Amino acid sequence: RQYLELELGRGALLVRERMDREALCELTPTCFLSLELVIEQPIEVYNVEVEVLDINDNAPRFPRQDYRLEISESAVPGARFHIESAQDPDVGTNSVQSYQLSPSRHFALDLKGFQSGDPPKSGTAQISVRVVDTNDNPPAFDRSTYTVSLLENAPPGTLVVKLNASDPDEGSNGDVIYSFGSYTPEKVRQLFSVDPHSGEVRVNGTLDYEEASSYEIYVQATDQGPVSMAGHCKVLVNIVDANDNVPEVVLTSLYSPVPEDAKAGTVVALMSVTDQDSGPNKQVSLRIPPGLPFTLNSFKNSYTLITQGKLDHEKAAAYNITVTATDSGSPPLSSQKVIHVEISDINDNPPHFEEPVYSVYIPENNPLGALLCTIKATDPDVAENAYVSYSLLDGEIEGLPVASYVSIKSDSGNMYAVRSFDYETLREFQVVVQAQDAGSPPLSSTVTVHIYVVDENDHAPQILYPTSTNTSAALEMIPRSAYAGYLVTKIIAIDGDSGQNAWLFFHLVQTSDPGLFRVELHTGEIRTTRKLGEDSTPTFNLTVEVRDNGEPPMSSSVAITVAVVDRVSKIIPDTRRHVRSPSNYSEITLYLIIALSAISFVFLFTIIGLTVIKCYRYSLYGDSCCAGFCGVRERCPADLYKQANNNIDARLPHGLKVQPHFIEVRGNGSLTKTYCYKACLTAGSGSDTFMFYNTCGPTGTTGPSAVMTERHLTGQSGQSAQNLIILKNDSITPNEPKHPNPDWRYSASLRAGMQRGELYNLTMIYAYSVLCIWRRQESCVADQEGLISSGQRFPVLLQVR
């Protein structure tokens, strides 16, 4: 690598690349770079040495960051331990000059190496000191003497005692090895053993209390230090006599099987017990598990097994009774003997049905011999006591024996239908089934079987109203004035089925005028969908089908002829059902007499008053039309006055207030001229009669505006009315409405009555007089539809004399 370069022009020696003194000269105190310079003309060679000076660019560094020192606990103060020095590649004052150890109460120290460079730098290493133990403590036992009791029948390997010796030293200085002491006899060494590591003393041979009642064992514990140290203890083993003979149970006699109805106290077995031990170890007691229907009675060394509770063969057909014999030794020894006792069955359980009540659903019209259900009963007894047979108890259904409806198979319990059931005749019934076993005596039980007949759609709907036959249809009438939605009739039908099979739906399947009638789907009401026209046909033929909701559905139909008439008579309610008791007749009669008397009196008084007033007016005004009534005295022609009083008397309804200039009377029929009269009603007058008192001259109105056809005013006699009453307003302002109200029309029933001439005698009419409020002297014309031009609707009382 070339660290220097020469600038030829100036002869300057320049540093070309950074130089690292430690890399060039390593640890030498001085560092030089040697080079040769050649000068031409003349040629001269010069040797140049460039010294690389050191700077403090490296910190001291220890070979390792962590040092571990092991110092014996027996080391004396001032002992030396070698630590590797720190290294610094710099030289001179820039190298390591001193070391410093940080103070610490523990055994973890920091060692720092310092230099004198500028700036000064340092390096650190951690020192961990471990104190090494020395074997300066002997092992020590917990106790100096251990006393142990041991049964004579303790098997080899039985733990006698576990010794524990501790040494506070560490490492091998604290490892303890156990062994027999030098004072232990050889016999003891054969009967016992000591584990060298755990200190467990165990039985190694066969002990015998009669041979030796106690043993002394000497044990020492030795550590594993360079210079071993030892501790000692003594183990005293006392041999205890053991209960080494188990009691024995001997079965003398056994009574089996035992009937399940055996009484309490019945002897089942006799037993005796023996034990080869002596003293307390020879005393033996017997016991059996709790919860058994047996107990033990003792007499010296003999025992009897007897019944205590009720036996049940169905719960337990046999018992394995474990008899346990236990002596009084310590620990006690026991032996067991199992005695097998069987329980014989008796017929003590009646058959039991699987269901408390049986419910059977059978569709109607079932075939003969159809399986209804299977009755199942079980008997917990065995053999013939558990054999169950089935039968039907005697009874009647609808007055007939049960056997005529159902039968049951005795061995399987299958119940069959003897006949085909009809839901409409018999919807449900019940039978009683008996199950009986074959025991002696036999036992039985019964169960009720409810049989429900399920409806099927086997009945078509029956139409009650209206009725039709194969040759004629039902007749219904509607008025020609029937409006849209008019109720023509209602189909009433029933279905002998039930449930969804009896849900009825009504359909219009055929009609002579499609779109004129409709049938409500659920109610069966036949209504019109629009208003009948004047040119409607007199009759309509309908066919209505009533269909049920069964599967498959069934239906019936009815043919209806709807006749269009001018008027339908109202149905007078039948009041014959509303009959009062005879005790109330006297009171009702009295009330009727009083009411009729009062009405007759008032009517008579009214007639007399009206007659007097009328006569008074005639005598007061003479031959004038209305002279003096309003303070205007104008003359009328006598013939016109006479004709007006002889032909027409017009009355306004009570309460209607009309201005005088609103009223005009025109003649028609025999009158050749139209006369105009003036009338006056006071604002506060309660009178509803206007009178004609003067003429105003002819109006000159002719043509359609002054003539009414006779078909509108034809009475029962066929004569035409002679006068038309027209109310007009000569002073209607331009701001008021100028068009007639088209909402007031004749009803269809009224037009029909007018044509038939049945309503002529009514005193309250709207259509026999053409009522209109005139605008600008315009005439009032009644159209063929019965339109009455009106701004206010009010009736006029018209009497023709």
205 and 333 share a domain?
Answer: no
Task: Say whether both 15 and 70 belong to one domain.
Answer: no
Closest residue by Cα to residue 540 from 481, 477, 491: 477
- pLDDT confidence tier of residue 640, bands split at 50, 70 and 90: very low
pLDDT at residue number 359 = 95
Write down the mean pLDDT value for the chain: 76
Q: What dihedral do alpha carbons 289, 294, 295, 300 form, nearest 10°?
A: -100
Please say if the pLDDT value at position 784 is more than 60: no
Same domain, 795 and 648: yes
> 3-state SS of 562-593?
EEEECCCCCCCCCCCCCCCCHHHHHHHHHHHH
Q: Which of 392, 424, 448 is the last residue of a domain?
A: 448
Model confidence at 690: pLDDT above 60: no
Helix, strand or coil, per DSSP, at residue 191: helix
Both 164 and 126 in one domain: the answer is no
Residue 455 lies in a domain: no
Please state, in angstroms and as integers, the Cα–Cα distance from residue 260 to each residue in 263, 314, 343, 345, 556, following that order.
9, 9, 6, 6, 72
Residue ending a domain, choose from 517, 542, 565: 565
Sheet holding 66-72, edge to edge: 66-72, 122-132, 108-115, 96-101
Is the model's pLDDT at 725 over the cut of 70? no
Biggest distance spanned by C-alpha atoms of the chain: 186
pLDDT of residue 430: 95
> Distance between CA atoms of 733 and 729, rounded to whole angstroms?
10
Task: Lay out the sheet containing 284-287: strands in order across.
Answer: 258-259, 334-344, 318-327, 284-287
Co-location of 236 and 258 in the same domain? no
pLDDT of residue 798: 37
- Number of domains the chain is built from: 7
Domain CATH number, residue 539: 2.60.40.60
Domain assignment of residue 441, yes or no = yes
Say whether both 188 and 165 belong to one domain.
Answer: yes
Nearest to 90 by CA among 166, 159, 170, 27: 27
**For residue 442, what are its two tokens?**
């036999």
Per-residue pLDDT, averaged over 531-536, amounts to: 80
Task: Evaluate whether residue 256 is within a structural domain.
Answer: yes
Co-location of 412 and 269 in the same domain: no
Residue 423 in tokens = 């839901």
The answer on 720 and 739 residing in a single domain is: yes
Q: Is residue 518 part of a domain?
A: yes
Query: Considering the chain, what percentage of its residues have pLDDT values greater than 90?
Result: 35
Same domain? For 36 and 167 the reply is no
Same-domain status, 214 and 232: yes
Distance between CA atoms of residues 199 and 227, nearest Å: 22
Residue 608: in which H helix or E strand, if any? helix 585-621
| pLDDT band at residue 569 under the 50/70/90 scheme | low
CA–CA distance from 59 to each of 19, 63, 64, 121, 238 (Å)? Answer: 18, 13, 14, 5, 77
Amino acid type, 363: P
| Residue 772 buriedness (CB in 10 A; 0-12 / 13-18 / 19+) | buried
Q: Are the C-beta atoms of residues 178 and 220 closer than 8 Å to each other?
A: yes
Structure-token pair, residue 116: 């004198």
State how beta strands 108-115 and 96-101 pair.
antiparallel
**Residue-wise pLDDT tens digits, 191-230:** 999 999 999 999 999 887 768 889 999 999 999 888 888 9
- Range among 10-19, 213-222, 665-674 rated most confident: 213-222
pLDDT digits (tens, 9 = 90+) for 576-591: 444 445 555 567 788 8
Residues 11 and 114 in one domain: no
- Asked if the structure places residue 533 within a domain, the reply is yes
Token code pair at residue 126: 């951690």
Q: Which of 128, 127, 58 is nearest to 93 (CA)?
A: 58
Q: How much is the average pLDDT of 383-408?
A: 93
* Residue 608 belongs to a domain: no
Of residues 704 and 559, more confidence is placed in 559
Residue 56 lies in a domain: no
* Domain annotation covers residue 592: no
**What pTM, to 2 d.p., does this model score?**
0.39
Domain, as residue range, for 193: 140-240
Residue 235 sits in the same domain as residue 252: no
Q: Please give the average per-residue pLDDT across 10-31, as a whole number.
A: 82
